[in-house]
Amino acid sequence: MSSVRKLSEYYGTLTFNKKEMRNRLSKKTFEEAVEIIEKGGKLTPEMANEIATALKEWAISHGATHFAHWFQPQRGVTAEKHDTFLSFTDTGEVMESFSGKQLIQSEPDASSFPSGGMRSTFEARGYTAWDPTSPAFILKSKKTATLVIPSIYLSYTGEVLDVKTPLLRSLHVVEQKAYDMLKLFGNRTAKHVRTTAGPEQEYFLIDKEYYKKRHDIIFTGRTLVGASPAKGQQMEDHYFGSIRPKVLDFMEDVDVALFERGIPAKTRHNEVAPNQYELAPIFEDANLAIDHNLQTMEIMKQIADAHGFVILFHEKPFAGINGSGKHLNWSLADSEGNNLFDPGNSPKKTIQFLVFLSAVLAGVNKFGGILRMAVADAGNDHRLGANEAPPAIMSVFLGDYLTVLLDDISKGEFKSVNEQKFADLKLKKIPSIVLDNTDRNRTSPMAFTGNKFEFRAVGSSQNCAEALTTLNLLLSYGLDIMTEKIAKYNKGEKDIKDAALKAIKEVAKETERIRFEGNNYAQDWHKEALKRGLPEAKTTPEALKYMTAEDTVKLFEKYEILTKTELHSKYEIKLDAYVKTKVMEFNVLKDMVLTRIIPSLVKQLNTYSNGKEALKNAGKTGKFLQEIISEMDTTLEGLNEGLKKLEKTAATIDAENDLVKKADILSVEGNKLLNELRIFCDKAESLVEDDIWEIPKYSEMLFLYND
Ligand code: ADP
Ligand code: MG
DSSP string spanning 412-476? ---SS--HHHHHHTTGGGHHHHHHHHS----S-SEEE-SSSEEE--SBTTS-THHHHHHHHHHHH
pLDDT at 670 over 70: yes
pLDDT of residue 435: 62
Q: What are phi and psi of 568, to 5 degrees?
A: -65, -40
Residue among 171, 329, 331 whose CB has most ligand 1 atoms within 8 A, to mutate:
329
Mean pLDDT of the region 399-425: 80
pLDDT of residue 443: 87
**What element of type H or E holds 629?**
helix 623-655
150: left (phi over 0), alpha (psi -120 to 50) or beta: beta
Q: Say yes or no: CB of residue 196 within 6 Å of ligand 1.
A: yes
Domain boundaries, the chain: 7-162, 163-199+332-535, 201-324, 578-703
Torsion over CA: 564, 565, 566, 569 (sign): positive
Torsion over CA: 410, 411, 416, 419 (sign): negative
Ligand 2 center to residue 507 CA distance, Å?
30
Q: Say yes or no: CB of residue 552 within 6 Å of ligand 1.
A: no
Burial 435-448 (b: 16+ CB within 10 A, else e): eeebbebebbbbbb
Whole-number average pLDDT of the chain: 91
pLDDT of residue 361: 98
pLDDT at 195 over 90: yes
**Residue with the larger pLDDT of the pair 318 and 440:** 318
Q: Does domain 7-162 have CATH number 1.20.1250.20?
A: no
Ligand 1 center to residue 266 CA distance, Å?
10
Closest ligand 1 atom to residue 200 Cα is 14
pLDDT of residue 529: 93
Contacts of 638 (CB under 8 A, 6+ apart): 679, 680, 683
Output the residue whose Cα is nearest ligand 1's atom 23: 331
Q: Which of 188-202, 311-325, 628-642, 691-705 has the lowest mean pLDDT?
A: 691-705
Q: Say yes or no: CB of residue 280 within 6 Å of ligand 1.
A: yes
pLDDT of residue 122: 44
Which bound ligand lies closest to the C-alpha atom of 456?
2
pLDDT at 123 over 50: no
Closest ligand 1 atom to residue 199 Cα is 14
Q: Are the CB atoms for 381 and 574 separated by under 8 Å?
A: no
Mean pLDDT of the region 79-91: 90
Class of domain 578-703: mainly alpha
Q: Say yes or no: CB of residue 200 within 6 Å of ligand 1.
A: yes
pLDDT at 128 over 90: no
pLDDT of residue 310: 97
Instruction: Write the pLDDT tens digit of every residue in 493-545.
Output: 888 999 999 999 999 999 999 999 998 988 899 999 999 999 999 999 999 99
Closest ligand 1 atom to residue 451 Cα is 23
Peptide bond into 390 cis (omega under 30): yes
Q: Say yes or no: CB of residue 342 within 6 Å of ligand 1.
A: no
Whole-angstrom distance, CA of residue 520 vs CA of residue 534? 13
Closest ligand 1 atom to residue 330 Cα is 25
Whole-angstrom distance, CA of residue 150 vs CA of residue 291? 8
pLDDT at 236 over 60: no
Q: Say yes or no: CB of residue 267 within 6 Å of ligand 1.
A: no
Ligand 2 center to residue 503 CA distance, Å?
33
Output the residue whose Cα is nearest ligand 1's atom 6: 449
Which bound ligand lies closest to the C-alpha atom of 471?
1
Whole-angstrom distance, CA of residue 519 vs CA of residue 114? 39
pLDDT of residue 117: 62
CATH of domain 201-324: 3.30.590.10
Instruction: Write the pLDDT tens digit of every residue in 464-497.
Output: 999 999 999 999 999 999 999 999 999 888 889 9
Amino acid at 91: T
Whole-angstrom distance, CA of residue 528 vs CA of residue 521? 12
Ligand 1 center to residue 469 CA distance, Å?
19
Q: Say yes or no: CB of residue 339 within 6 Å of ligand 1.
A: yes
The partner residues of 138 in beta bridges, in order of sequence, read 147
Mean pLDDT of the region 667-684: 96
pLDDT at 1 over 60: no
Which bound ligand lies closest to the C-alpha atom of 439?
1
Mean pLDDT of the region 89-96: 91
In this prediction, what percent of the chain has a pLDDT beyond 90? 73
Q: Are the CB atoms for 684 and 600 separated by under 8 Å?
A: yes
Instruction: Write the pLDDT tens digit of every residue in 26-72.
Output: 999 999 998 888 777 788 889 999 999 999 999 999 999 999 999 99
pLDDT at 317 over 70: yes
**Residue with the larger pLDDT of the pair 462 and 349:** 462
Whole-angstrom distance, CA of residue 433 vs CA of residue 12? 38
pLDDT of residue 631: 97
pLDDT band, residue 121 (cuts 50/70/90): very low
Ligand 1 center to residue 466 CA distance, Å?
19
Q: Say yes or no: CB of residue 283 within 6 Å of ligand 1.
A: yes
